[in-house]
Amino acid sequence: LAKLHSIIEQLKDAGFKVTPQRRAIIDTLHNHDPKTAHEVFTNLKEDYPDISLDTVYRNLHLLVELGVVTQINLQSRDSARFVISADGHYHYLICIQCGSTVKVDFCPATTRITEDFKFQPIKHVFEVYGYCSQCQNNEVY
Ligand SMILES: [Zn+2]
Ligand SMILES: [Zn+2]
């Protein structure tokens, strides 16, 4: 909860109004698996019947710009998933069949890049696309 509080403070510091809808978006993503904009929209629609998918997209991208939210699965707008940045630094394996995501707890940029290449990374993207174990078992592809 303290983390949620610091996210709200971060928004205020950046000069953004923390509207109930923005708060609800953060609540929806907080401590959850990465969600698509559509999943966030479906979640919010119960409490905010007037909200549009476009509003959700706009707010998610604003939160990404502020660094509060990280966008994963960068291939397309429809498959993009969003996760709270403060939940940790992770990378993801993304199933191109069912869209499920698996969190990877190592970062290729931290050791090999800094040590082997003497390069100081500021920002990086590392995503792996493929088939999850369940989809491999189903052999649907
Ligand atoms: Zn799958
Ligand atoms: Zn990393």
* Tens-digit pLDDT profile for residues 19-44: 899 999 999 998 788 899 999 999 99
Count of positions (residues) in the chain:
141
Give residue 100 CA to ligand 1 midpoint distance, Å: 6
Report which of 89, 93, 91, 84 is spatially closest to residue 60, judged by C-alpha positions: 84
Ligand nearest to the CA of 99: 1
Give residue 100 CA to ligand 2 midpoint distance, Å: 19
pLDDT of residue 54: 95
pLDDT level of residue 55 (50, 70, 90 thresholds) = very high
Ligand nearest to the CA of 85: 2
35-36 and 127-130 beta bridge pairing? unpaired
- State mean pLDDT over 37-60: 94
Give residue 91 CA to ligand 2 midpoint distance, Å: 6
pLDDT level of residue 1 (50, 70, 90 thresholds) = low
Ligand nearest to the CA of 101: 1
Ligand nearest to the CA of 123: 2
Q: What is the pLDDT of residues 66-118, one digit of tens each?
A: 888 988 876 666 678 898 886 667 888 989 888 888 888 888 777 778 888 88
